[in-house]
Structure 1
Amino acid sequence: MREGMVVRTADGERLGTVVRAGEDTFVIEKGLLLPRDFTARYEDVAEVRGSEVRLRRTRDEMIPGPWLKKREHEEVVSLGTFGAPQELVVELAHEEPHPRTVVREVGQLRIHKVVRTEVRHFSIPVRREELVVERLPVTDEAHARSLEGTPVPGGAAPFEEVSFVIPLREERVEFTKSTQVWQEVRVSKAAQEELRTVRTTVRRETAEVEERGEVLHEGPVDGLHS
C-alpha cells in the first residue's frame, strides 16, 4: 500500500486516494473543495491491481475518519446573497515546458608527440687499401738501378736491420642528421546540427468534485474532470 493509489468500493465506486498508510489501517481522502477522509483496514482489501485498490465494503459501510486539517491555502469562500446567481471560478494551472539548449563538454581529444627510434639501412660503396707483397727475382736492370743510387726506403743500408711501417687506410661512413617535416596532423572542430527527441514531466491541476447532500447541477459531474 502506498500513497496516491486509487481506492474503489466493492461496487466499483471511486472512493478516493490513499493519503496515509499505517501499520494496521490506511486513510483514504476524497474531494477537493470539501475534502473528507475514510479509514480502512488492510483486511478490508479485496484486491490490489496495479495502482488501484478494491475494498470488500461499500461506501455506506466505510468508517468515516476525522476531517483532515485544512491545508494552508484552503479558505471558506462566500458566494454572495442567497437566491442571487452565484458562480465560483477555480483556476487550474498546468506547467508548460520551454526547451532550450545549453553547452556541455562531452569529450576531449588530446594529442601529444612521441619520439620513436628506428633503424635505417643504407648501402654505400667505400674504399679500403690492401697491401700486396710480391717477391721478384733481381734482374740486371734492377741491379743496375740499385747501383745508380736508388734510395732504399727509410734510408737503410744493406745488412742493416730495419722495420718498415706502411699504413693502410679505408673509407668509413659518418652521418650528419637534419630535421625534416614528414607529416602534419591537422585537427579541426565543426558543429553538426541534429534533431533530438527529448521529454520531460509537467504537472497539471484537475478538479475533483464531490457531492454532499442534495446538489442540483446540469450534466454529469465527471464532465468537470478535465
Structure 2
Amino acid sequence: MQTEIRNLLDCHVVGADGQSIGKVGQVYLNDGTGEPEWVTVRTGFFGMKQTFVPLMNARRSGEEIRVPFDKEMIRGAPNIDVDGRLSLNEEADLYRYYGMQPADIPRQRGGETRTRGPITGEGQRAGLAGDMRGDLADDRDIDITRSEEQLHIGKESRETGRVRLHKYVETENVTQKVPLSHEEVVIEREPIRDGEMAGVEIGEDERQMILHEERAVVGKETKPVERIHIHKQDVQHEETVEGQVRRERLEIDEEGMTRDENARFDRGEDLPPER
C-alpha cells in the first residue's frame, strides 16, 4: 500500500479533455478501507493552489491519472484547506460539486471527521513550500526558469550490404562453316592422228602424281575483350525523423485576467508587464 501511495505522488493528473491539470500534491485515504480516495492537484499561480480531485472512476496509466472531469471544472472545485483532515461536510460538498453521491457518507454525522489526513512526499513538499514563501516575501519580481527539450539529430554510418566480383569460366560449343578444297584426278583421252608421232617403242612406263586436300584445323588463343570497373558513389536522400520532446509551461491565475491572456501564457509566451 505504501508503495502504491508513493507512486501516486509521482503522477500527473490529466482531465477528460486531455489537458494536463497538474502534479499530485497529497493523497487522502478512506478511514474505513485505507484506500486512496482523494488527491490534491497543484494548480494556480506557479502550482501554489491545491485542488481536491476524487479518484472514483479514475484510471491510472504509467505516471498519469486520468479523471472524468475537465480542467475548468477541477480548477473551480471548492477551496478547502489541504493541511488537515477532510470532514464529512467538506467531503460531501466536494462530491456534490463533482456530481457524485457515494452511499457511504453518513450525512447525519456532519461534523465528524471521516477521511484520514494527507500523505505527502516527505522532504520534497516541505522544501517546495519553504522556497515559495521565500520568493513571495517582499519581492516585486518573481523569476522562474522554463525549460524544454530539443531534438539533436545526428548521422551514423552502418553497413547495408557487400558487393563481390567473381570471375568464372564457362564452356560453349561453337559451330562455324569453313570452306575447304582437295585435288581430284581427271583423266582425259585424246586420239593421235597418223603421222603425228613416229618411232615409238612398246615398253613399260610409270608416272606418279601427288594429290592434296585441305583440312580444318582448330586453334585457340586468349585475348582480352572487356574491362569491368566497380566503384562506390554517395547518393543523397532525405528522411523524416520524428521524436518526442517535453517542455515546461507556465499557468498563471490572477483575478481580473482574461481568458485570452491565460491562453497566451499557456503557450509559453512572454508574461505581461507588471500592473
TM-score by length of 2: 0.45
TM superposition shift of 1:180: 1.8
TM superposition shift of 1:95: 1.6
Distance in 2 of aligned mates of 1:30 and 1:111? 68
**Are the counterparts in 1 of residues 55 and 67 from structure 2 also a CA contact under 8 Å?**
no
Please give the secondary structure, in 2, of the residue aligned with 1:54. coil
Match of 2:170 among 97, 103, 116: 116
Instruction: Tell me whether 1:79 sits opposite 2:138 in the alignment.
Output: no
Unaligned runs of 5+ in 2: 1-10, 28-34, 60-64, 78-93, 101-114, 187-199, 269-275
Unaligned runs of 5+ in 1: 46-50, 133-141, 154-167
Please give the secondary structure, in 1, of the residue aligned with 2:175. coil
- Name which one, 1 or 2, has greater alpha-carbon Rg: 1
CA RMSD of aligned residues (A): 5.1
Please give the secondary structure, in 2, of the residue aligned with 1:79. helix
1:101 matched residue in structure 2:
155
Classify 1:185/1:30 alpha carbon distance in 2 versus 1 (closer, same or farther; 3 Å): same
Amino acid at match of 1:30: V
1:24-63 correspondence runs (5 A): 30-31=41-42, 33-34=47-48, 38-42=53-57, 53-55=67-69, 59=77, 60-61=94-95
1:156 matched residue in structure 2:
none
TM-score by length of 1: 0.52
Amino acid at match of 2:14: V
2:21 matched residue in structure 1:
16
Amino acid at match of 2:118: P
Instruction: Tell me whether 1:7 sits opposite 2:15 in the alignment.
Output: yes
Distance in 1 of aligned mates of 2:230 and 2:222? 23
Distance in 1 of aligned mates of 2:212 and 2:122? 115
TM superposition shift of 1:93: 0.4
1:65-76 correspondence runs (5 A): 66-70=118-122, 75=128, 76=130
2:144 matched residue in structure 1:
90
**Are the counterparts in 2 of residues 17 and 29 from structure 1 also a CA contact under 8 Å?**
no
Classify 1:144/1:100 alpha carbon distance in 2 versus 1 (closer, same or farther; 3 Å): same
Please give the secondary structure, in 2, of the residue aligned with 1:30. strand
Q: Which has the higher helix share?
A: 2
Please give the secondary structure, in 1, of the residue aligned with 2:146. coil
Classify 1:188/1:91 alpha carbon distance in 2 versus 1 (closer, same or farther; 3 Å): same
Distance in 2 of aligned mates of 1:87 and 1:18? 25
TM superposition shift of 1:119: 1.7
Classify 1:152/1:172 alpha carbon distance in 2 versus 1 (closer, same or farther; 3 Å): closer
Distance in 2 of aligned mates of 1:31 and 1:80? 17
Distance in 1 of aligned mates of 2:53 and 2:240? 44
1:162 matched residue in structure 2:
none
Q: Say which structure, 1 or 2, has more relative contact order (CA 8 Å, 6+ apart).
A: 1
Task: Name the count of aligned residue pairs.
Answer: 181
Amino acid at match of 1:205: E
Identity in percent? 19
1:173 matched residue in structure 2:
216
**Are the counterparts in 2 of residues 7 and 54 from structure 1 also a CA contact under 8 Å?**
yes
1:126-165 correspondence runs (5 A): 126-127=180-181, 144-146=202-204, 150=205
TM superposition shift of 1:196: 4.4
1:135-171 Cα shifts (integer Å, max 9, x gaps): xxxxxxx99222xxx4799xxxxxxxxxxxxxx9865
